[in-house]
A and B are shown apart, each in its own frame.
Chain A
Amino acid sequence: MIRKSGWLIFLSLLGAIFLLVYVFAGSAIRFGMVYSLEKAAGAEVNIQRVSLGLFPLSLTISDLQITDAKAPEQNLVSFARANAELELWPALLGYYVISDLSVEQLAYGSERRRPGKVYRGELADAEDSGFDFASLFAIELPNADELLARANLTSVAKGEQLKQLAQSEQQQVRQLREQLPDRDRLRELEQQIKALTDGDIRDAADLAAKTDQLRRLKAELEQDKAKVEQVKTALLQSREQLQSAVRDFQQATQADWQQLQSYANLADGGLAGISQLLLGDLWTERLQQLYTVYQLVAPYLPDGSRLEEQPGPMELPGRILPLKQQPYPNFWVKNASISLLIGGGSAELSVQDITAQHHIIDAATRFVLDVQQLPMLQQFRLDGNFAIFDQLQSEVNWQLQGLQLAEQVFGEGSTRFGLEQALLNSRGGLSLNGTALSQQASVALQSSRFSSGDNRYVQQLTSLLNQQAEIPFQLRADGTVTRPNVRVSSPLDRIVADAVMGEAQARFAGFEQDLRSKFNAKLPDTAGDQQALLSLLDREQASTEQMSQQIESLLEAQLGDVRDRVRDRIRSRIGG
């Protein structure tokens, strides 16, 4: 039953498996990586060596180069060496805890020793979402159509609602009219009552019969009166509904106009917000790039939206059960340091506690990017943290100094003007809580020189800008990542406004007029339907009021007359 050599066989088999893994794992991983990376990049991938270390358990990748399919003589990404040290005990429990991860000489777009092979002509590459300083000022002034397209106009929908309400209410009022008592019948009742009240009462029996007849007529009139009252109430409700819809429409129109004014910076007298015009849209766009990052982490959020499922490499499925006390996150890099080769210099990125399960380690992921002494940039430091608890929380601060801006052309048409040289400095912070964004930053242009064309307004503007030792801007944003509300202000605004007010005021007045007329054209014409319903309501209300008074007087008059005449007759018979 028991095999005496059982342990020996087991250890031999175990040894064979271990040896097999140790000898071939490096090559197997290398082939696997090359295969999957080539499939993803559509171009040649070179990895010099992948080696496994035992004490400590580590994986080292040497000299990785991924050819850029669009430029085969360049690498998309390359690095000289990457090393990951895996902690043994968590790995035995099934958790990937990397104590140290380092990537050396990570570079984008480096020269290849020889051109790489390209396997796919068109690489379905993700859109570049990196912060592009060079395009920071590549902006266009807004026009009325753009602003109208950008603004989410609620008044259009409210106007449509009002129009539909007016039409349906007109229909209802016409139906209500049919519920009113017939005028001929009322006239007939009036005549009958008149005949009763004017006619002679012969004796007590006649009095009783006429009283009974009058009671019946009175009951009929009471029914008619109730109908009229119902119609009156319905008409009143209809009028209130119309008034409320008109009020909503007017408020929405006013709010939309204010929104458009704020977008176009017209509310404060035109040029007061020139900095918003210059940087507002651009900064909004840059902040919205955060949404790309947010989408990447969204699948890890408890109730976050998930990215579209991508067909991944063939692998066995598996999840870690939601243990009451999970000892380690599923994936956790304790320390990572990456040296980047960029723009003729180098940058150091250091990250701590990379994971998507921050609640287990009770700490946020922290990062610091330090860039110094590049030919085009004196210093750039970005530090911050992010954590995924109930939702994504992140704080980022940056400090940028001495970024040389390349020659740029701003605006288009008559407002074109050029930036010949400038140094950009910026300092700021950003916090993200779920999708809620809050950001403040100061940006300053130093030693700037602008050139202008023939336009007198632009000439005045550039001359004024050239006189400034520093052009400061304050940027603030709040709202959601998808729709940030960006405000840009600068002390320069007032100076520029005062200097060029005369010429610019006319331009902005024209712009406002254009915007107003286009906005009005967008609103549905509700006046006709609204007016038709109002006059219908007026007519019907007057008519029902008249009918109500008529019935009321009929009821009162006949009772008084009969009583008086009977009383008089009895008196005359008694002789008093």
Chain B
Amino acid sequence: MLTILARILKVLNSEASPWQIGWAVALGLCAGLLPFGLLTLVILLIACLFTVNLSTFLLVWGFSKALLWLLAGRLEQLGWSFGQQDWLLSLLSNSETLQLLHLHHSLTLGGFLLSLLILFPIAWGTTRLVLKYRHVLMPHLSKWKIVQLLKASKLAQLYQKMN
């Protein structure tokens, strides 16, 4: 747990740009919300080809898998009801590529729809949060005595070691 926290802190304080972290979180979340398949690999490829922060991507991917188990029932319902539209059924029937991405499966379709909805807001929101942390919270926090005390703690030593 401490290691994970240290990793998060490391990323937040690293040279990585806020946009790289923001997109890593968004893509990781999307990958996690989909059952493992070709679509997940496509997202992984995007994450590898663009300079998003890979550690963050992998970390968020892992965490959001738990989210998928929590939301699976609702996502499946969403995919099933959205998938009843004639135009979509015709499109899916005629496209083997879309079937290859398993978009004709209710859960994958539901996960994909949610991913599309949250991708940009999460990327933008996380970027703003990282910027806020770096410019407002971090300088302010470092002045606190408790933080100075914590810096001498085991977590801080671990963080230093990772650096």
Contact = CB atoms under 8 A, between A and B. Distances in A.
Interface stretch (B47-55, B122-130, B131-139): B47-55
A1 B80 contact: no
Nearest to B108: A318
A13 B45 CA distance: 10
Nearest to B80: A319
A327 B88 CA distance: 16
A321 B48 contact: no
B150 interface: no
Given A318-B106, A321-B92, A92 B49 contact: no
A25 to B, nearest CB: 13
B73 interface: yes
B99 interface: yes
A369 to B, nearest CB: 36
Interface in A313-330: 316-327
A6 B38 CA distance: 17
B41 A14 contact: yes
A2 interface: yes
Secondary structure of the B contact surface, majority rule = helix
A9 interface: yes
A94 interface: yes
Nearest to B54: A9
B48 A317 contact: no
A7 B48 CA distance: 7
B48 A6 contact: yes
A322 B49 contact: no
A318 B44 contact: no
Contacts of B102: 93-94
A28 to B, nearest CB: 14
B44 A1 contact: no
Contact of B69 (A316, A320, A323, A324): A316
B77 to A, nearest CB: 9
Given A94-B99, A316-B69, A321 B104 contact: yes
A10 interface: yes
Contacts of A1: 50-51
Contacts of B89: 321-324
A321 B83 contact: yes
B153 interface: no
A3 interface: yes
Given A14-B41, A94-B105, A321 B49 contact: no
Given A94-B99, A321-B80, A2 B50 contact: yes
Contacts of B41: 14
B72 A93 contact: no
B90 A317 contact: no
B25 interface: no
A320 B105 contact: yes
A342 B93 CA distance: 46
Contacts of B37: 94
Interface in A359-401: none
B35 interface: yes
Contacts of B29: none
Nearest to B58: A13
Interface in B68-121: 68-69, 72-73, 76, 79-80, 83-84, 88-90, 92-93, 96, 99-100, 102, 104-109
Interface in A2-38: 2-3, 6-7, 9-10, 13-14
Contacts of A6: 45, 48-50
A319 B72 CA distance: 12
Contact of A323 (B72, B73, B104, B107): B104
Interface in A114-166: none
A9 B49 CA distance: 9
Contact of B104 (A7, A13, A316, A320): A320
Interface residues of B, number: 35
Interface in A298-337: 316-327
A514 B68 CA distance: 70
Contacts of B49: 2-3, 6-7, 10
A28 B56 CA distance: 28
B48 A3 contact: yes
Interface in A459-491: none
B100 A13 contact: no
A7 B41 CA distance: 12
A94 B102 CA distance: 6
Nearest to A8: B48
A3 B47 CA distance: 9
Nearest to B72: A316
Contacts of B69: 316
Nearest to B98: A93
Contacts of A94: 37, 99, 102, 104-105
Contact of A318 (B48, B51, B76, B92): B76
B50 to A, nearest CB: 6
Contacts of A319: 76, 80, 105-106
Contact of A321 (B44, B54, B105): B105
B50 A92 contact: no
A141 B26 CA distance: 76
B18 to A, nearest CB: 15
Contacts of A2: 49-51
Contact of B48 (A9, A320, A323, A327): A9
Given A321-B80, A322-B89, A10 B99 contact: no
A327 B105 CA distance: 14
A321 B109 contact: yes
Contacts of B79: 321
A322 B38 CA distance: 21
B105 A317 contact: no
B90 A324 contact: yes
A317 B78 CA distance: 12
Interface of A: 1-3, 6-7, 9-10, 13-14, 92-94, 316-327
25 contacts: A1-B51, A3-B50, A6-B48, A6-B50, A7-B49, A10-B45, A10-B48, A92-B100, A93-B100, A94-B37, A316-B35, A316-B69, A316-B72, A317-B73, A318-B105, A318-B107, A319-B76, A321-B88, A321-B89, A321-B92, A321-B106, A321-B109, A322-B84, A324-B93, A325-B93
Which are the 7 A-B pairs with shortest beta-carbon distances?
A6-B49, A10-B48, A318-B107, A321-B83, A6-B48, A317-B76, A324-B93
Given A316-B68, A321-B79, A327-B99, 7 more contacts: A93-B102, A94-B105, A317-B107, A318-B105, A319-B106, A321-B88, A322-B89
Interface of B: 35, 37-38, 41, 44-45, 48-51, 54, 68-69, 72-73, 76, 79-80, 83-84, 88-90, 92-93, 96, 99-100, 102, 104-109
